[in-house]
């Protein structure tokens, strides 16, 4: 991608638009205590569903590699878990053929087990003219949701090659803005929330010929702080499900891995730090690809919801606003791994 003032201007407009939208969103929910951070932790083996029946003594929590005292602990399991799932059909970053494949696979998931869903689920259709939540919102009646989806026409995107950089920058802008809006809408709802975003992902807008100046890096850092804090306080875990399967380019699908390490200062910023699979991984979710069975990928995400563990701790003192802290959860029992959001920003400032 060429390095040009036009790209800088479009990215700048994106961040200004996203910041303005974030400032107008529903107020963030109050955390469990003013000075505590709540984590939703999933424990897994190398393969298979999450593991339950662990106790507080099995967990060690590290904040920037320093052990922190667990102030509250709760094991949550079963279909009675307070979980809601928002499944996003991305009509901005996918072709009509890909969306048709997604719909048949989503229908299969909705109608499994006689249409009795494990958790309350809703479907959002993301288009370049807005985002629509189907029907009456969240429900455990998979058959009813499937019937609504059958009747729904999903329009093709209008953003084409005439838009900036073949429409890539505009799709990047719309996607980030929509993610922030969806998280804000979920924030007041109680319990844990999962967003399953079915999409090849929006453009990463990063490469050897793309340089960001200090002003853009500072603004992007502020957007990352805002989005990370928004996801954490809303208790939203993001999952990236790539529907292209084995037809996806290996280099494209794996490129995001260069950006998953947390950002601690603006000078580290690249546009790829705001990619869909990057944000999903950092939120404690999964980035799934190279599988033609989209229904199986979606079911893997839903099965990842529970059992899980609610763990609170008092964060370490920060020396400055927006100080990045890496979180690690160690499990005493061999062969088990704890997964939660990768980090948080202490004393997050409000970035406009």
Give domain status of residue 18, yes or no. Answer: yes
Q: What is the dihedral of CA 339, 343, 346, 351, to 10 degrees?
A: -120
Q: What are phi and psi of 52, to 5 degrees?
A: -105, -170
Residues 6+ apart with CB under 8 A from 91: 99, 125, 126, 127, 128, 154, 155, 156, 157
The reported pLDDT for the residue numbered 1 is 41
Residues 6+ apart with CB under 8 A from 255: 204, 272
The reported pLDDT for the residue numbered 29 is 44
Give domain status of residue 48, yes or no. Answer: no
Q: In what order do the strands lie in the sheet with 343-346?
A: 66-68, 59-63, 323-331, 343-346
HSE (side-chain half, CA atoms, 13 Å) at 197: 32
pTM of whole model > 0.85?
yes
Overall number of domains in the chain: 1
Give domain status of residue 62, yes or no. Answer: no
CATH code for position 10: 3.40.50.410
Give domain status of residue 142, yes or no. Answer: yes
Give domain status of residue 323, yes or no. Answer: no
Give domain status of residue 248, yes or no. Answer: yes
The reported pLDDT for the residue numbered 225 is 96
The reported pLDDT for the residue numbered 224 is 95
pLDDT in tens, the chain (352 residues): 444 555 555 555 555 555 545 544 444 444 455 589 999 999 999 888 899 999 999 999 999 999 999 999 999 997 778 999 999 999 999 999 999 999 999 999 999 999 999 999 999 999 988 999 998 899 999 999 999 999 999 876 665 433 444 468 889 889 999 999 999 999 999 999 999 999 999 987 766 556 788 888 999 999 999 999 999 999 999 999 999 988 777 766 678 888 999 999 999 998 889 999 999 999 999 999 989 999 999 999 999 999 999 999 999 889 999 999 999 999 999 999 999 999 999 988 777 6
Instruction: Work out the end-to-end distance of the chain between its first and last CA atoms, rounded to an integer number of angstroms.
Output: 28
The reported pLDDT for the residue numbered 250 is 73
The reported pLDDT for the residue numbered 30 is 41
Domain that holds residue 13: 5-36+79-306
Give domain status of residue 206, yes or no. Answer: yes
The reported pLDDT for the residue numbered 35 is 81
Give domain status of residue 332, yes or no. Answer: no
The reported pLDDT for the residue numbered 239 is 98
Q: What does DSSP assign to residue 317? A: P
């Amino acid at each position: 991608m060429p390095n040009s003032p036009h790209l800088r201007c479009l990215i700048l407009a994106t961040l200004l638009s996203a910041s303005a939208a974030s400032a107008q969103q529903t107020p963030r929910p109050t955390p469990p205590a003013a000075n505590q951070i709540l984590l939703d932790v999933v424990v897994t083996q190398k393969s298979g569903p999450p593991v339950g029946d662990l106790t507080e003594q099995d967990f060690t929590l590290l904040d920037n590699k320093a052990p922190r005292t667990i102030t509250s602990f709760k094991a949550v399991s079963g279909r009675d878990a307070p979980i809601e799932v928002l499944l996003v059909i991305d009509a901005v970053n996918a072709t009509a053929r890909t969306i048709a494949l997604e719909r048949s696979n989503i229908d299969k998931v909705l109608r499994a087990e006689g249409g009795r869903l494990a958790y309350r689920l809703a479907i959002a259709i993301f288009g370049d003219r807005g985002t629509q939540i189907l029907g009456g919102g969240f429900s455990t009646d998979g058959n009813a949701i499937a019937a609504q989806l059958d009747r729904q026409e999903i329009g093709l995107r209008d953003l084409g090659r005439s838009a900036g950089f073949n429409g890539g920058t505009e799709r990047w802008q719309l996607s980030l803005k929509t993610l922030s809006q969806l998280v804000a809408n979920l924030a007041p709802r109680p319990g844990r929330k999962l967003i399953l975003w079915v999409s090849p992902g929006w453009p990463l807008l990063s490469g050897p010929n793309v340089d960001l100046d200090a002003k853009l890096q500072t603004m992007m850092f502020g957007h990352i702080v805002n989005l990370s804090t928004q996801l954490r306080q809303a208790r939203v875990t993001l999952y990236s499900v790539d529907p292209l399967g084995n037809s996806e380019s290996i280099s494209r699908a794996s490129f995001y891995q260069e950006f998953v390490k947390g950002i601690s200062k603006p000078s580290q910023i690249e546009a790829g730090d705001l990619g869909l699979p990057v944000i999903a991984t950092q939120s404690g979710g999964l980035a799934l690809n190279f599988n033609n069975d989209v229904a199986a990928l979606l079911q893997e995400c839903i099965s990842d919801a529970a059992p899980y563990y609610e763990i609170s701790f008092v964060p370490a003192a920060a020396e400055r606003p927006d100080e990045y802290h890496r979180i690690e959860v160690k499990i005493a029992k061999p062969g088990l791994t704890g997964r939660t959001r990768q980090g948080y920003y202490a004393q997050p400032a409000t970035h406009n």
